[in-house]
């Protein structure tokens, strides 16, 4: 099983090379999901891209260290950079759903030379307001406590969660506190300064993310907005054929 080791923590990934001449697309999960949520994208995008999917710390087949200090957005970004290094990929189309979209934006901010384009699915860029961020972080703490009390059942029943298998409830609780929680407004403030082509896609039924999708599409230069009919938060699972068609068209447009 392919893994990279980042200071003692093993991170699981899968790399699908379809053609050496194609760009590489990285797909990052929502919180509480695993790379299994992208199974329909492996064949669906094979004609336009090589694909990397992976599991965050505390998720799926990656390690779940007991030390909560080993979970953070910065460490998660370094995990992804090391995966790209291991795969011999200098630049990639970096995309993800929900938390994965936020991680993609943060990766572009931290590693702009390694980001060929961005794809943001049913996600948001964080908060400018300290009060709003504090409210979000209270939610991530409550979620961590719920998982500690209920185990994996505390994750809920989102479609991306249903198709995912985990080994450690404590790892997921630690990830909620360390990766999902936010510390500043750097990501949302970066939107007007993004220089790469960006696809902003949301399911039409994902009501909580429609307005923030409009906000990102307005703020990010050279962005394309797509509303996917009859899809909820896990747009790629709800409408895989339509999702793959939109992503394929976007990837072709940047070549």
Write down the pTM of the prediction.
0.97
What's the rounded mean pLDDT across residues 16-27?
96
How far is residue 94's CA from residue 246's CA, in Å, rounded to a whole number? 15
How far is residue 213's CA from residue 209's CA, in Å, rounded to a whole number? 6
38-82 pLDDT, tens per residue?
999 999 999 999 999 999 999 999 999 999 999 999 999 999 999
> What pLDDT does residue 228 have?
98
Domains of the chain, each with CATH number or no CATH: 3-253 (3.40.50.1820)
- pLDDT at residue 2 tops 90: yes
What's the rounded mean pLDDT across residues 29-34?
97
90-135 pLDDT, tens per residue?
999 999 999 999 999 999 999 999 999 999 999 999 999 999 999 9
- pLDDT at residue 156 tops 90: no
174-199 pLDDT, tens per residue?
999 999 999 999 999 999 999 999 99
What's the rounded mean pLDDT across residues 131-142?
98
């Amino acid at each position: 099983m392919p893994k990279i080791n980042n200071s003692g923590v093993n991170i699981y990934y899968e790399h699908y090379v379809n053609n050496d001449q194609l760009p590489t697309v990285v797909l990052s999960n929502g919180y509480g999901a695993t790379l299994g949520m992208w199974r329909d994208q492996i064949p669906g995008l094979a004609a336009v891209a090589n694909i990397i999917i992976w599991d965050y710390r505390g998720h799926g087949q990656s390690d779940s260290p007991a030390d909560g200090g080993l979970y953070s957005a910065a460490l998660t970004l370094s995990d992804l950079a090391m995966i790209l290094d291991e795969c011999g990929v200098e630049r990639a189309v970096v995309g993800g759903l929900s938390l994965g979209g936020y991680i993609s934006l943060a990766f572009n901010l931290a590693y702009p030379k390694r980001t060929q384009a961005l794809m943001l699915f049913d996600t948001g860029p964080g908060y400018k307001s300290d009060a709003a961020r504090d409210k979000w972080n209270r939610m991530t703490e409550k979620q961590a406590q719920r998982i500690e009390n209920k185990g994996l059942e505390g994750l809920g029943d989102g479609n991306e969660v249903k198709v995912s298998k985990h080994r450690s409830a404590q790892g997921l609780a630690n990830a909620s506190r360390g990766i999902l929680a936010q510390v500043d407004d750097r990501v949302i403030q970066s939107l007007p300064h993004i220089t790469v082509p960006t696809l902003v896609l949301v399911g039409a039924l994902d009501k909580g993310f429609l307005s923030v999708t409009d906000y990102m599409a307005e703020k990010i230069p050279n962005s394309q907005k797509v509303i996917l009919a009859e899809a909820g938060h896990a747009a790629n699972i709800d409408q895989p054929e339509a999702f793959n068609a939109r992503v394929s068209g976007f990837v072709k447009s940047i070549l």
